[in-house]
Amino acid sequence: MRGDASRPVTISVIAESAGVSIPTVSKVINRRAGVSADTRARVEAAIDQYGYRRPTSKARSRLMELVFPELASVWAVEIIRGVEQVARANQVRVLVSQFGLHDSESPGWLDEVPSHRPGCVIRVAQLSAAEREQLQTRGIPFVVFDPTAELPAGVPFVGATNWTGGQSAISHLVALGHHRIAMISGPESILFCRARLAGYRSALETARLPYDPDLVAHTQYLTREDGHAAARILLSRTPRPTAIFASNDLQALGVYQAAREAGLRIPDDLSVVGFDDLPIAAWADPPLTTVHQPLTEMAAAATEMALDLGRGIPATRTGLELATTLVVRDSTAPPLR
């Protein structure tokens, strides 16, 4: 028998039938400790008798997913750490996966065993329209982490204050006395690259320094190699720039290499500022002045936001940008000339 068909089989029906409390039933279902063998057997008998099936919403809320476009970046681990910390505090498990734009239109993670479907998703960097639609159709809330493109209104995201960060880097160089400050910017298609570049321009304007397009190099990727190639071009300009602001720390390491090859000393002949403040920034020779992006805190904030949405708590704010801070190390100094 399956009980009265007109009455839905809920956890309280099971509790009543077994003569125990709801928390006790919950313990048995979730195989937690603190239930005697006798009670456990009675609850399990009631579950069998009523053909009770645990609602999936409960199961879903215990899993979340963190999706990277690629797991190659040195900052992935900072993000994972932030997500894992908050998820663990909420007793939620974290699925980590890789799903690039080069992959098929249909995200593989949605066609899974339903019980393994995440209660919410954090998508790093990008979220295609197709993905967004599929997540919405399945009722899986999502947050975009550090979006690389403008998002439609209402799509929740967490990023950093990239424009302000760019500004602070240039203000620091201006305060040191630099007048010819070059910038290596990533692709214009990337939102945070545009924001950092805009910060550079605004700071120059504030300092009443001219904006010289010859002192801005755009690269295809945010890699050390692209930073190196761009720095070679910028260092060949006449007069040579006395400082270079790179779009991230890897590019800044490429600037270091180009400076070495050109026989330029950092910071005596060339000041360099990066962005991100990955561990490698402090390890560089000389240690790199850079704009600290609080990746772990950003990931923690994105996780709190996603978990709230997964619990049906409406978002108090759709987007959030966490403050960057300039970390001054040894790669910046007043210009010699």
Q: Which is nearer to its own copies, 80 or 273 (CB)?
A: 80
Min separation Cβ 78 and its own copies, Å: 9
Q: Which is nearer to its own copies, 99 or 163 (CB)?
A: 99
> DSSP character for 112?
S
Min separation Cβ 36 and its own copies, Å: 18
Min separation Cβ 224 and its own copies, Å: 6
CB 18 within 8 A of CB 42: yes
* Cis peptide bond prior to 267, omega within 30° of 0: yes
Q: Which is nearer to its own copies, 50 or 200 (CB)?
A: 50
- In the complex, the residues that contact its own copies under the rule CB under 8 A are 1-2, 30-33, 51, 53, 58-59, 62-63, 71-74, 76-77, 80-81, 84, 88, 91, 93-98, 108-109, 111-116, 224, 253, 256-257, 260, 279-280, 283, 285
Min separation Cβ 210 and its own copies, Å: 33
Min separation Cβ 212 and its own copies, Å: 29
Q: Which is nearer to its own copies, 59 or 315 (CB)?
A: 59
Name 292's bridge partners.
276, 325
Q: Which is nearer to its own copies, 41 or 149 (CB)?
A: 41
Min separation Cβ 70 and its own copies, Å: 9
Distinct helix (H) and strand (E) counts, the chain: 12, 12
What is the H or E stretch that residue 185 is in? strand 181-185
Nearest to 266 by CA among 287, 281, 238, 283: 287
- Outline where DSSP puts E strands in 202-327: 216-218, 243-246, 271-276, 289-292, 319-322, 325-327
Q: Which is nearer to its own copies, 98 or 171 (CB)?
A: 98
CB 50 within 8 A of CB 9: yes
